[in-house]
Amino acid sequence: GIQVEQSPPDLILQEGANSTLRCNFSDSVNNLQWFHQNPWGQLINLFYIPSGTKQNGRLSATTVATERYSLLYVSSSQTTDSGVYFCAVRPFIIQGAQKLVFGQGTRLTINP
Amino acid sequence: KAGVTQTPRYLIKTRGQQVTLSCSPISGHRSVSWYQQTPGQGLQFLFEYFSETQRNKGNFPGRFSGRQFSNSRSEMNVSTLELGDSALYLCASSSLAGSTGELFFGEGSRLTVL
């Protein structure tokens, strides 16, 4: 099946720093989403981005589907940005199914 | 607009028991899918329902089952619980069937098996 790799696995930064999280996937995808998992376990939607670039405040994301990767940018980091960020893709070959395949996540720690 | 609601949020069971978890999707959403999250395996797909029909199933034993009701609410059941079933169970809903559509997740049900 499709493989989703996120890098780096861990990232520790000071408040105010910028960061780039990467998601590589091994096959064509119909869809890609970025999530932030809060301390209580809920997955918070950040971006629904099968291709192109989107921005939402200090966060932005770019997906280059033809090259099978996506990037999540966090600018001017705040301590509230800490947590685990997941990339999830929906394989193109599985038509008619809402199955998401998740990466292992990037744990971002922002120190004050 | 209310989000995806999962109940119960926390529960503790013992080996051999069974458990039923409930998920109410966002109003108007007809697709519901379930995921298991463990420290060792990460987030894994369990199954997906649309219009009361199971459309896809992940690689889990038959002890894991689910269903969807006519109002799109879904339940999943785990029978003969094992220690390894301890996990966060997440439900997601989507307005679209098929391979497009954004998924929205609930807060999860955290199951501990003793």
Side-chain-facing half-sphere of B53: CA atoms under 13 Å? 6
- B70 has a pLDDT exceeding 60: yes
Confidence of residue A22 (pLDDT cuts 50, 70, 90): very high
Q: Cα distance from B1 to chain A (closest Cα, Å)?
A: 15
- A99 has a pLDDT exceeding 90: no
- Dist CA B86 CA A35 (whole Å): 23
Q: Cα dihedral sign for B83, B88, B92, B97?
A: negative
Tokens of A91: 């394989």
Residue A28's alpha-carbon distances to A81, B102, B106, in angstroms, are 30, 17, 27
Confidence of residue A94 (pLDDT cuts 50, 70, 90): low
CB contact under 8 A, B99 and A101: no
- Whether the CB-CB separation of B81 and B19 falls below 8 Å is answered with yes
- Dist CA A92 CA A107 (whole Å): 27
- B98 has a pLDDT exceeding 60: no
* pLDDT 10s digits, B9-41: 999 999 999 999 999 999 999 999 999 999 989
| Chain B environment of A104 (Cβ under 8 Å) | 42
CB contact under 8 A, A99 and B105: no
Cβ within 8 Å of residue A69, ≥6 positions away:
A22, A23, A24, A25, A63
CB contact under 8 A, A42 and B107: yes
Tokens of B65: 């089952």
CB contact under 8 A, B106 and A98: no
- Dist CA B58 CA B46 (whole Å): 5
Beta bridge pairs of residue A51: none
